[in-house]
């Protein structure tokens, strides 16, 4: 009996762990099911280049990418040092430096109440679909300190940096409720809705790349690893046949 009790405890612990993991994954799947699909592809270099342009023109004023270097961006996105330093570097940083916002932290806290977060791991923390949905869900809200609100992240303290591109959305609320039923484009922006969705997808794609730049190299190496394993398996099979030919 003494031997069975520890085994029962182990089985119960494993069952509980599996249950928690399944429950967590189900909750995440349900939450992500309410978000639009980002449809990102970090192997799409043109999309990454467009996303980098958007980030450095609209986001780096407040947000940093403290785990990504300009030189790494140039290498992975197929850009020259001159292109990166002229078109993406607005802070006077060196080519080998990491991407740091040019807004002083004390100024950020003064304007927004706290320093804007670093976006290096934003996609890994919240998924690409969440970031893409967030970029599509800003609406004008005079009751908020910055004049904007967001249906994906309610009461966000961030103003909408891409409003000139998307335009201004207003909230249509459910009858007799403060819940937002849908968003309507009340003032068009510089881009059509389809063009803006592509821009948001490109920006999300770049942030997904920034969250794990090694993913590009890992995918390239993966092909060679699979070829090596296939070749090694074939050689092992021939060796097995040679060893066992007299037995059979």
For residues 107 and 10, state if they share a domain.
Answer: no
| Cα within 13 Å of Cα(67), Cβ side | 14
For residues 69 and 148, state if they share a domain.
Answer: yes
Tokens of 167: 């335009």
Residue 248 belongs to a domain: no
Residue 181 belongs to a domain: yes
Query: Among the ranges 20-29, 84-93, 171-180, 185-194, which has the highest mean pLDDT value?
Result: 185-194
DSSP one-letter code for 65: E
Close Cβ partners of 83 (under 8 Å, ≥ 6 residues apart): 74
For residues 127 and 142, state if they share a domain.
Answer: yes
pLDDT at 59: 94
Here the CATH number for the domain that contains residue 146 is: 1.10.760.10
Give the CA distances from residue 74 to residues 14, 60, 78, 85, 221, in Å, rounded to whole numbers and listed in that order: 46, 17, 6, 9, 20
The continuous run of DSSP H or E covering 51 comes out as helix 45-58
For residues 12 and 103, state if they share a domain.
Answer: no
- What angle in degrees, to the nearest 10, is found between the helix axes of 45-58 and 70-77? 150
For residues 197 and 106, state if they share a domain.
Answer: yes
**pLDDT one-digit tens code per residue, 68-124:** 999 999 999 999 999 999 999 988 899 999 999 977 666 656 666 677 889 999 999
Per-residue pLDDT band at 210 (split at 50, 70, 90): very high
| Cα within 13 Å of Cα(132), Cβ side | 23
For residues 29 and 49, state if they share a domain.
Answer: no
The Cα 224–Cα 242 span in angstroms is 27
The Cα 241–Cα 243 span in angstroms is 6
For residues 27 and 84, state if they share a domain.
Answer: no
Close Cβ partners of 117 (under 8 Å, ≥ 6 residues apart): 63
For residues 16 and 87, state if they share a domain.
Answer: no
Residue 23 belongs to a domain: yes
The Cα 43–Cα 39 span in angstroms is 12
For residues 5 and 101, state if they share a domain.
Answer: no
The Cα 144–Cα 137 span in angstroms is 15
For residues 150 and 212, state if they share a domain.
Answer: yes
Q: How far apart are the first and last CA of the chain?
A: 48
Domain that holds residue 191: 35-239
Residue 193 belongs to a domain: yes
pTM (2 d.p.): 0.76
For residues 24 and 85, state if they share a domain.
Answer: no
Residue 247 belongs to a domain: no
Close Cβ partners of 42 (under 8 Å, ≥ 6 residues apart): 48, 205, 208, 209, 215, 216
Residue 244 belongs to a domain: no
The Cα 158–Cα 61 span in angstroms is 13
For residues 132 and 231, state if they share a domain.
Answer: yes
Tokens of 128: 């690409």
Higher pLDDT, 99 or 30: 99
Residue 164 belongs to a domain: yes
**pLDDT one-digit tens code per residue, 51-62:** 999 999 999 988
Bridge-partner residues for 182, per DSSP? 172
How many domains, in total, are found in the chain?
A: 2
Residue 12 belongs to a domain: yes
């Amino acid at each position: 009996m003494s031997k069975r009790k520890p085994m029962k405890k182990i089985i119960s612990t494993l069952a509980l762990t599996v249950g928690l993991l399944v429950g967590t994954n189900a909750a995440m799947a349900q939450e992500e099911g309410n978000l639009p699909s980002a449809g990102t592809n970090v192997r799409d270099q043109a999309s990454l280049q467009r996303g980098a342009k958007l980030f450095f023109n609209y986001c780096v004023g407040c947000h940093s990418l403290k785990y990504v270097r300009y030189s790494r961006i140039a290498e992975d996105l197929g850009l020259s040092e001159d292109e990166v330093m002229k078109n993406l570097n607005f802070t006077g940083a060196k080519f080998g430096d990491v991407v740091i916002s040019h807004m002083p932290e004390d100024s950020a806290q003064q304007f927004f109440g706290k320093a804007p977060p670093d976006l290096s791991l934003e996609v890994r923390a919240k998924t690409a679909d969440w970031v893409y949905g967030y970029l599509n869900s800003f609406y004008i809200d005079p009751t908020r300190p910055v004049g904007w609100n967001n249906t994906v992240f309610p009461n966000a303290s961030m103003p909408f940096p891409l409003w000139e591109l998307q335009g201004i959305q207003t909230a249509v609320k459910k009858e007799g409720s403060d819940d937002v039923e849908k968003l309507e484009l009340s003032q068009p922006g510089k881009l059509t809705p389809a063009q803006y969705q592509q821009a948001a997808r490109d920006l999300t794609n770049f942030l997904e790349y920034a969250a794990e730049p090694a993913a590009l190299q890992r995918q390239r190496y993966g092909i060679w690893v699979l070829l090596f394993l296939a070749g090694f398996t074939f050689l092992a099979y021939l060796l097995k046949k040679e060893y066992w030919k007299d037995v059979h």
